[in-house]
Structure 1
């Protein structure tokens, strides 16, 4: 923020950033650039959230430049006489319609898109980019009764308590590494992600059915490990793996496309 001149009169930032750039943003605006390199939105979202609404409206080549920063948690801007590394450890949150008309899978309105149109629409999201998105969730439209229902504070409190316990468990697990499940290395996965025989067999089936890459395979195990932590389980069991698979909805949807 200091480099980009966005601090103003406030010398320190006390809240995590939330950045939501428009889908017309350029590559340089997203990852950084310029004759005199300036940080982009991914660096301004460092240690916070980068929200990309209408994900498929972004240019494909703009989205593709996210691949390396999502892995390395930083971005290198190279110029003739210098290279500058900007931090970019952000949580990517994205939203998109399921198809061009927006009604694919809707229980009340029929989708008017052809399979070819849907394939072209989702084709803006490459496999390598989807591999880097841990949770992919299809959300049904909300009906009136659900929309007007009061907020259940008790359920929220229970959920918060579960998350806090899972965080403590991971802090104890990685006490010497200062990391969490999402950043586990392959060696850490082998050590800390022990599956029951049933969960291992299910993982094998889904790996072969969805043609998962090694990155997608590791992501799936990490999510299952986190679900097991939320349940207070020592090992990854079948229900944990089943739930993790449900969070790969785009993989499963693309697998059904002609």
Structure 2
């Protein structure tokens, strides 16, 4: 069953075509990676999937229903988004920030219930934030605030997580930690994840399939082995990589070499 199905999606802003005829499917429980050079349309595609942008043409189905048919609250129960900036350094506690993820389940005057509290505590535990629950966001590092953003998204209890370059500003320890969190969430919930990633090697390690984008178009869609191919990556990125096999994971990884 396809959790997300995009058909001939294009996006035009003013006179500029941002996306052109994008079609793909994501199955329930799958992790799809979106890769490509800067300006290729990766983040714009995430914004279209999350309904922040409305496509000029084409359609998107979420769980076999048109994306446009969902109310904002119902969409927030289905889908959560994490941006590369993470949570802003606001003067609120970690627990208060994570509790914001429960808003799709509240009426105007309803306060957090015992069930909400349980979900919030589970999100804090899952992301290793229990000891920081009473700390202010403005006291945290960027990597810690990114974990808070993911905990808030998980508190929404979504079926789909969209992550737009969630590791861009983080050191390698936090990068692996964030992607491990997403993988564990997917395994625990049978959720679906769509990741925009800058690092091709991490994309190969954490995704089931990859979409390669260039100039607003989908250049290629396929397995890790099909996409991490030297000539294909050279055509898109303009640099010829060396493709090697990871000694433990047995998947393609790339090495770059300086020009002589």
Q: TM-score, normalised by structure 2?
A: 0.30
Higher helix share: 1
Q: Which has the higher contact order (CA 8 A, sep 6+)?
A: 2
